[in-house]
């Protein structure tokens, strides 16, 4: 959460245009936090997008796609439950939009013009690649990519590097904690004051 807060404060202070999105929201915690930050900072011209199947994780396409967690009921949180979680904090409003369905279907058609923060939590190779392929070009220079399971899921890390290698991109990937990383888009710079965790 410290990293999300720092990224949000930074893009707001530097006036980096665009909305925020999380791809893979589970119960909605990080997306709720994003919306709360916008409220606290009195930002009214940005949307928080919450993209998820709201039916649990997909069955992996193959062995290299990642571990099969599709049968784990704990990961199956409905859209109605996530909306209730937003509402519990008084944050379910027109600055929150939901994209329900598998990423390969919802993200190509998502009505998002510009992003300042892209937070990936899809775990699988295919889910991570779908998010990067369909959303990376919508990121404003100076915005951020946060990858939740970069170190915990080899399939996720492989998708990130396959995407970056294909685009010949070499961002400065910074560690957040034992699982997650992030980088700034476009300019390759990073302020020294950013906390690691």
Q: What is the pLDDT of residue 30?
A: 94
* pLDDT at residue 196 tops 50: no
* pLDDT at residue 84 tops 90: yes
Q: What is the pLDDT of residue 195?
A: 44
Contact 142, 186 (CB under 8 A): yes
Q: Give the pLDDT confidence of 8-56 residue by residue, as tens digits.
A: 999 999 999 999 999 999 888 899 999 999 999 999 999 999 999 888 6
pTM: 0.87
Q: Give the pLDDT confidence of 96-118 residue by residue, as tens digits.
A: 999 999 999 999 999 999 999 99
Q: What is the pLDDT of residue 41?
A: 97
| 3 state DSSP class of 39 | helix
Structural domains in the chain, CATH included, are 2-184 (3.40.50.150)
Q: Give the pLDDT confidence of 114-172 residue by residue, as tens digits.
A: 999 999 998 889 999 999 999 999 999 999 999 998 988 899 999 999 999 999 999 99
* pLDDT at residue 197 tops 70: no
């Amino acid at each position: 959460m410290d990293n999300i807060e720092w990224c949000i404060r930074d893009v707001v202070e530097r006036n980096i245009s665009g909305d925020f999105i999380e791809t893979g929201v589970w119960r909605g915690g990080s997306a709720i936090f994003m919306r709360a930050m916008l409220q606290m900072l009195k930002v009214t011209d940005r949307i928080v997008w919450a993209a998820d199947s709201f039916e649990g994780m997909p069955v992996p396409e193959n062995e290299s796609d990642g571990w099969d967690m599709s049968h784990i009921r704990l990961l199956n949180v409905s859209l109605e439950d996530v909306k209730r979680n937003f509402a519990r904090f008084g944050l379910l409003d027109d600055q929150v939009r939901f994209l329900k369905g598998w990423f390969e279907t919802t993200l190509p058609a998502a009505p998002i013009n510009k992003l300042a923060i892209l937070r990936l939590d899809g775990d699988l190779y295919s889910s991570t690649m779908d998010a990067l392929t369909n959303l990376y070009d919508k990121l404003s220079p100076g915005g951020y990519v946060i990858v939740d399971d970069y170190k915990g899921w080899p399939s996720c890390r492989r998708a990130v590097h396959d995407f970056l290698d294909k685009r010949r991109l070499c961002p400065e990937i910074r560690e957040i904690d034992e699982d997650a990383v992030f980088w700034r888009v476009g300019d390759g710079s990073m302020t020294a004051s950013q906390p690691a965790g």
